[in-house]
Structure 1
Amino acid sequence: MITVFGSLNADLCFDIARCPDAGETLASDGLRTQAGGKGGNQALAAAKAGAAVRFVGAVGADTFGDVALSGLQQAGVDLSGVRRDAAETGCAIVIVEKSGDNRIILNGGANAGVSADQLTRESLQGVSNLVMQMEIPATAVAAAVELAGQAGVRSIVNLAPAMPLPLETLKKIDLLVVNESEAQIVSEIISCASDAASLAHRLGTDVIRTLGPDGAEACVAGTVRHAPGRAVRVVDTTAAGDCFIGVLAAELDAERDFDLALQRAVAASALTCTGPGSQSSLPSAAEVDAFLATWAD
């Protein structure tokens, strides 16, 4: 079983030819209101990959709270760890350009009140992976990493969006996942190169660096691995990184060979880019199987 400790949002997604300039108003080609948040996206990706998932976080007692939870409820995610707060539900405005690139404006809302007090060692019994991101307070993530270590649970931290964590916390993370820009930020803080092997050697932990269309590289137990990407027709890159995290966690929970788990996570991430939206574009395990089958053709 996987526990995701993180953020839940309602996303307002605008489809537009290009982002407006300062002082300019442009009409969008479409508007979608849907569930989002890095935590929610990662949890749903893991559930659709076949894992049993429990979510720990917070939403507001407003209509957007129902939106934020809708996809997870439909997927059968255990939401007993989600608190309803007086604060408004986290909300993101996602502007998707015709090219597939996106711009995101985020208000954390209830996510800012998420606390590691919502986790206990008892609640982590039977959990293989505790998955976290940085849309909740860094102090909560740091405390959760500590708790995971005490409970013997693998901590997977996606340092996105890039926020500083104490060096002692970074060294206690079992698996750190960063994209290229996040890796560069970490490398500058700890004074090393930004590739996965350099980060892993400096921190003494396992590291994955995602490389967009080029796949991902990993340094696990001192061994460097690479999973190549594959070009796809990009419609919307929203949630591609979250999909990678969720599917990877699900594959590790299933005790899949690491190289295969990495390749499936890369494939699922690429597949996410071929559809619009965040949670609506996350693929099922069967869809990933079919997509991977085409790679051998």
Structure 2
Amino acid sequence: MTVRAAADGPPLVVVGAINVDLTARVPRAPARGETVSGGILSRQPGGKGANQAAAAAKLGARVRLIGAVGADDAGDEMRRHLAAAGVDVAGVQRTAEATGTALIVVDDSGENSIVVCPGANTAIDAQRIPDVSRAAALAQLEVDLTVVERVAFGTDGFFALNVSPVRPLPDALLQRVDLFIVNEHEYAQLPELRARPLVAVTLGAAGAILLRDGVEIARAKAPATSVVSSVGAGDAFAAALTVAILRGQDVHTALAAACAVGAAAVADPQSQPDLDPLEAYLPVARPGR
């Protein structure tokens, strides 16, 4: 495995879902069988793959996205948004399925509930994925595992996997991953990660930790911020941590920067928040250190 700088070396390939996010902001989420009025509806680009690709590009990486949209107006819209964020969308396939849609409810505390209608995300043709050899890659599990494996085993570069949503992983894929990224609830469901060489676990407002072979090697606090929406925060964190590591930052600096990016994301109502280049989130060295 070779780690290459995201800014100067081969591009970062992101593989994952592309959705239209239909978000209802409400004072509180409805209970089962309850109707809550007074919501404000918005339409935004989303999907974990698209969110992570857009975040990485805004942070300064050269990014290619592998995914799929429908041959519909929503698919055209998502491709335009991604291209405007600086993402290479040549690897985004068009399918007969409709572009994926996520139905999201966000309450006044920023907590969310999401229902995903995957559509085109289920129809990515693994045989049509372009050559990714020698590239670094970042993936999630909102798309078929064969697509993830095609990219994972198609490159000899650094491979990061955001194990979300949680599902069992084949042993060969477990062995291939250089960096796992999970939240604390996902980590609790995946005992097989206890012995993996590098695992990042997000802790919400408490920040995040990095584990090597189950032993904590770095911890970072999340900067204080006003929470507007947590929808894109985990994706922004995953993108930032991956890009920082690829740029050669040490684990403490990379984790702190990722937490700062995650904090910036929760203060933004968008699933694909506005972000500055990665350098803006790097911790300032103390005098004498």
TM-score normalised according to structure 1 size: 0.85
CA distance in 1, matches of 2:274, 2:203: 19
The match for 2:219 is 226
Question: Aligned pair 1:171/2:175, yes or no?
Answer: yes
Question: Aligned pair 1:253/2:246, yes or no?
Answer: yes
The match for 2:188 is 184
CA distance in 1, matches of 2:222, 2:95: 41
The match for 1:194 is none
Q: Is the 8 A contact 1:14 1:96 kept in 2?
A: yes
Question: Aligned pair 1:216/2:223, yes or no?
Answer: no
The match for 1:146 is 153
Question: Aligned pair 1:237/2:237, yes or no?
Answer: no
CA distance in 2, matches of 1:290, 1:224: 20
Any idea what the Cα deviations from partners look like across 1:206-259, whole Å, max 9, x if unmatched? Answer: 211111111111124877111222332111111100000111222233233332
Gaps of 5+ in 2: 1-10
SS in 2 for 1:161: coil
How far is 1:269 from its partner? 0.2
How far is 1:285 from its partner? 2.0
Given candidates 51, 58, 66, the residue that maps to 1:56 is 66
How far is 1:290 from its partner? 6.8
How far is 1:153 from its partner? 1.0
The match for 2:280 is 289
Q: Aligned runs of 1:95-110 on 2, under 5 Å?
A: 95-110=105-120
Pair 8,125 (structure 1): closer, same or farther in 2 beyond 3 Å: same
Pair 115,232 (structure 1): closer, same or farther in 2 beyond 3 Å: same
The match for 2:143 is 136
SS in 2 for 1:80: coil
Residues 129-138 or 15-24, more deviating: 15-24
Code of the residue aligned with 2:228 in structure 1: it is: V
Runs of 4+ in 1 over 6 A off after TM superposition: none
CA distance in 1, matches of 2:182, 2:202: 6
The match for 1:272 is 265
Higher helix share: 1
Give the percent of matched residue pairs that are identical in Structure 1 and Structure 2: 35
TM-score normalised according to structure 2 size: 0.88
Question: Aligned pair 1:36/2:46, yes or no?
Answer: yes
CA distance in 1, matches of 2:31, 2:216: 46
Q: Is the 8 A contact 1:35 1:69 kept in 2?
A: no
The match for 1:9 is 19
Code of the residue aligned with 2:234 in structure 1: it is: G
CA distance in 2, matches of 1:291, 1:141: 30
The match for 2:123 is 113
How large is the Cα RMSD of the aligned pairs? 2.3
Pair 167,282 (structure 1): closer, same or farther in 2 beyond 3 Å: farther
Gaps of 5+ in 1: 191-198
